[in-house]
Amino acid sequence: MMTSRNVTVALRCILGLMFVAGPLWTAFHAVPEPGLPPGAAALVGAFASSGYMLPLLWTTEIAAGVLLLLGIAVPFALVLLAPVIVNILGFHLVLAPNGLPAALAIGALELALAWQHRDAFARLFVSPAGDGRRAGEARSTPAWEIPS
């Protein structure tokens, strides 16, 4: 019987495997590269010719993927992958729509895992005053009346 924990582990391993295998396959040319529309090809070409961006991207993806596969610091791995996934979604939405279904699946995996680990992210949504309110909640007293 699949429990919620088993589903979470399976989703974590799928996302982790995608971010370990994908960059390695690409870096070592293990799979044929798909044809890209001109704008997408120009962007990927610029990343490649910089000598900086693709190694940084691949290192980040592989490191986060390994953390996910091992189940170590999962919230940190999700934070590392969040901007990568936003850019994957944007890239496919704007430049290479053929890959949009896969990009949406990756985004859904990230969101599902973030939801499972939402307690780890709760402090991000607490007001800066540290008064225990969540972002958007009204104060019971005005800010100028709360002692510092």
- Residue 131's CB is within 10 A of a number of other CB atoms, namely 13
Profile the chain (148 residues) by mean pLDDT over runs of 10 residues: 86 96 88 88 94 95 97 97 97 96 97 94 75 59 52
What is the per-residue pLDDT for 129? 62
**What is the pTM assigned to this prediction?**
0.81
Q: Which amino acid would we find at residue 37?
A: P
Give the three-class secondary structure for 66.
helix
Task: Calculate ∠ Cα 87-91-93, nearest 5°.
Answer: 115
What is the per-residue pLDDT for 112? 96
What is the per-residue pLDDT for 1? 65
What is the per-residue pLDDT for 137? 64
d(C-alpha 109, C-alpha 71), whole Å: 15
User: What size, in residues, is the chain?
Assistant: 148
Residue 105: both structure tokens together: 């699946």
Show me where the domains of the chain are located: 38-122
